[in-house]
Amino acid sequence: MALFLLFGILLAASLVCLHPRMNERALRWVGLLVSVITLVSISWFTVPILFGIAPGLQSSWWEVNRFSSLMASLVAWLYACAMLVSYHYLDVEIRKGILTLHQIRLYMLSVPLFVLSMLVAIFANNVGLLWVALEATTLSTTMLVSFYGKKSSMEAAWKYIMLCSTGIALGLFGILVMGYAGSAAGLHEAEAFRINFLSDVAPSMNPGIVMWSFVFLFIGFGTKIGLVPMHTWLPDAHSKTPAPVSAMLSGILLNVAFFTLLRFKNIVDQTLGSSDWTNQFFLLFGVLTIMLPAIILLIQRNYKRMLAYSTVEHMGIMAFLVGLGPVGMVAFTVHMIGHTLAKSTLFFGAGELLQRFESTKFHLVHDVMRRAPRTGSLFLIATLFLIAVPPTGLFLSEFVLVGLGMTVSPILTALAVLGITLAGLGLLKHLFEMLFGPVVPEEKQDTPVETWNLTHTVMSLQLAIGLVFGIWVLFGDGWTVLSGISSSIFPL
Amino acid sequence: MTNSLFSLLMLVLFVGETLTCFTLMRLPSLLRFYALSSVALGGLAIGLALEGGGVHLIPVAVAVVAVKALLVPFVIKRMAERSGASLRLVSSLRPSASWFVGIGVFGSGISLALHSPLYQMNNMIQTPALLPISFGVILVGLVMMIIRKDLLSQMIGFLVLENGIAAFSLSALGGIPVAIEFGVYSAVLIGAILMATLSQRVQNLLGTHDTSHLSELTD
């Protein structure tokens, strides 16, 4: 009931934005208010389940367990942060005459629908509903990719909708094949589309058909996750949306797609009686997804694209961790949380830089530490988080990657470590050039004195939480708690 | 199902019209044949319902025809006309070569299906003849998206692929629960509207919907 109420609020918030008498200020307030309501409601609903105080829920359409509660909490948190940043970001864009009321309306219409789609995808027990929700995440954000109406935005939006829709369509094919395997194992029509029923009959499903199904699910949802070589849409789309939306796309949407794939992996593993076969996919595609963006990061010329490629690399790390088995799965959970906090902070910072320097090109943004010290410092700290400097959560997850990976697959692990190192070097090389490099004549010279704003507050808060989280998992009982949460989808 | 003359006719029409879509180079005729193939898909659902596949397939058939044969082609055509887009489409292949490639791709899909574990368990399949055909149609849609060089054809390639998936669901599962089916068709309709809107904006911005003009984003 609480969930339906929240879904209703998000839908209503979206529709309210169509009201012709809403001005841009009112639209921003509605967006902010609804995001706070969402955060409070989701916290009230999921926190008891997340910490094992209350049992999960299951019905024919919905399933709420500890892992899905964690995912929903991350969605709600990032939504609130993104709307806080949007409040300031959109205000600046309006004052500069970059955006119109029509565009703000589109923004505030799309974002709640996007969040609603993610929450439905997370909590869906019915795979058909899950598919529709995942497709809706693409549809609700397409117009945000083409938001600024430039030629490059159009190109990015076209790639985004075509590749993601095609990927998700192949995912639907995989779902149908799995439904067929479920039917053949004795499930009735409706039951063959419920994850809990599929999981129950998994050991008696035909392994050949289930393996076929997984190949399509992997290609399909792997496209949405951004695994190489299905990633080509991602750097374009994530670099063309307004910065707060980029933060949500990179920070949480890919995790939602990953979570979807993991739910099917679990069923396939039960059918095959082992996770070895599916783990090979994750290890191999994980290494590819680390290596390729790592090389591109070294030659990157645009800081928003740099962050997007870094996201691809981190999806590779997460895929590799999944391939390492149940302990890797706990590290995956740690990495997912750490990456969400660090990457969204960086995208918020990227928005600040863009508004100040009016370019996303490295060669047109220099001496940030002197000209925008607040943004520069926070950007630097978030980058250190992202490259897994201790005591961050990412340090622990990448430590597990090396330690456990060497026992599972030394060659692939060595390649993964090489890729992670190259990516870190690439990020630092560009970052230092941007933060400390001398100003060149071609770039904007007269940047106003920087003052502390809402975006800086959100960035600081996220980094503080990231630091506490890192200390908790490294020195506290964070690892134990997260082991319990990840075992709700992958038993240890 | 193939025992029924009606279903057999729908099956032949579905394949023929899909393959024709692969070769056509003008938007109005491409949309017409896509709509006709969708009508044939709806006919297959009705044929299955008449043979005891369940009455729930009747509203599904109506939805297929309403969404894919009427609404989606209408939206694409209207958007193309409003933007003044050229009705001549762009492909990497000549029309005559398209027939050979289309039949080859379709045949590969059928061969893939016949060697799949799905077909080897065909005692469970509702309509065995449709299963390999659905594989063929999915591959034809995928290849169409790759070889076509304009936004409108790529969009129709995606819709052909989606028709193949719908045919697979009819074949292997005798359709999926109606609520999900309607969710899928809503997503297809909204997706088509968004794609058509984007192609209209690209046409307005660049004066063409040729995808070779969309190559700014590289590393």
Task: Specify if B127 maps to a domain.
Answer: yes
Q: Are B155 and B192 in contact (CB under 8 A)?
A: yes
A367-375 contacts at long range (C-beta below 8 A, 24 or more positions apart): A367/A435, A367/A436, A367/A437, A367/A438, A367/A439, A368/A434, A368/A435, A369/A435, A369/A436, A371/A439, A371/A447, A371/A450, A372/A447, A372/A450, A373/A450, A374/A450, A374/A452, A374/A456, A375/A349, A375/A450, A375/A455, A375/A456
CA of A237 vs chain B CAs: smallest distance (Å): 10
Cβ within 8 Å of residue B5, ≥6 positions away: none
pLDDT at B1: 47
CB < 8 Å to B184, chain A: 128, 131-132, 172
Tell me the C-alpha distance between A350 and A340, whole Å: 15
Nearest to B183 among A132, A151, A154 (CB): A132
Nearest to A299 among B180, B217, B219 (CB): B219
Task: Specify if B163 maps to a domain.
Answer: yes
Mutate to test the interface with B, among A166, A170, A230 (most CBs of B within 10 A): A166
Tell me the C-alpha distance between B197 and B22, whole Å: 23
Q: What is the DSSP string of B130-160?
A: HHHHHHHHHHHHHHHHHHB-BHHHHHHHHHH
Q: For chain B, how many structural domains are there in total? A: 1
pLDDT at B180: 86
Mutate to test the interface with A, among B152, B198, B200, B211 (most CBs of A within 10 A): B198
Count of all residues that appear for chain B in the document: 219
Cβ within 8 Å of residue A288, ≥6 positions away: A227, A228, A229, A316
pLDDT at B163: 96
Task: Specify if B97 maps to a domain.
Answer: yes
Task: Specify if B211 maps to a domain.
Answer: no
Tell me the C-alpha distance between A416 and A411, whole Å: 9
pLDDT at B90: 82
pLDDT digits (tens, 9 = 90+) for B42-58: 999 999 888 876 788 89
Torsion of CA A474, A477, A479, A481, to 10 degrees: -150
Task: Specify if B132 maps to a domain.
Answer: yes
Tokens of residue B181, six digits: 């089916």
Window 189-248 of A: residues touching B by CB (8 A cutoff) are 189-190, 192-193, 206, 208-209, 211-212, 235-236
Mean pLDDT per 10-residue section of chain A, whose length is 492 residues = 84 90 93 95 94 90 94 97 97 94 96 97 95 96 95 94 96 95 89 93 95 97 96 95 97 96 96 96 98 95 96 98 96 97 98 94 93 96 96 96 96 97 96 93 83 96 97 95 89 59
Cβ contact B187–A142 (<8 Å)? no
pLDDT at B123: 64
Tell me the C-alpha distance between B2 and B126, whole Å: 11
Q: What is the helix (H) or strand (E) element at residue A57, kind and residue range?
A: strand A57-58
Task: Specify if B81 maps to a domain.
Answer: yes
CA of B6 vs chain A CAs: smallest distance (Å): 25
Cβ within 8 Å of residue A300, ≥6 positions away: A306, A309, A362, A426, A430, B219
Mapping DSSP to helix (H, G, I), strand (E, B) and coil, where does residue A211 land? helix
Q: What is the DSSP string of A8-50?
A: HHHHHHHHHTT-TT--HHHHHHHHHHHHHHHHHHHHHHHHHHH
Residue of chain B with shortest Cα separation from A239: B217
pLDDT at B3: 54
Mapping DSSP to helix (H, G, I), strand (E, B) and coil, where does residue B25 land? coil
B72-83 and B151-173 helices, crossing angle to 10°: 180
Task: Specify if B213 maps to a domain.
Answer: no
Say if the ipTM goes beyond 0.85.
Answer: yes
Q: Which residues pair with A124 in a beta bridge?
A: A62
Range of the domain at B26: 5-205
Tokens of residue A200, six digits: 């129950």
Q: What is the mean pLDDT of chain A?
A: 95
Strand locations in A183-273 (E):
none
A293 touches B at CB < 8 Å: no
Window 157-216 of B: residues touching A by CB (8 A cutoff) are 158, 161-162, 165, 168-169, 172-174, 176-177, 179-180, 183-184, 186-187, 190-191, 194-195, 197-199, 201-202, 205-206, 211, 214-216
Question: Can you give the pLDDT of all 219 residues of chain B as single tens digits?
Answer: 445 889 999 999 999 999 999 999 999 999 999 999 999 999 999 998 888 767 888 998 999 999 999 999 999 999 888 888 777 888 888 878 889 999 999 999 999 999 988 887 766 666 778 899 999 999 999 999 999 989 999 999 999 999 999 999 998 888 788 888 889 999 999 999 999 999 999 998 888 888 888 877 777
CA nearest neighbour of A248 among A71, A39, A456, A82:
A82
Task: Specify if B40 maps to a domain.
Answer: yes
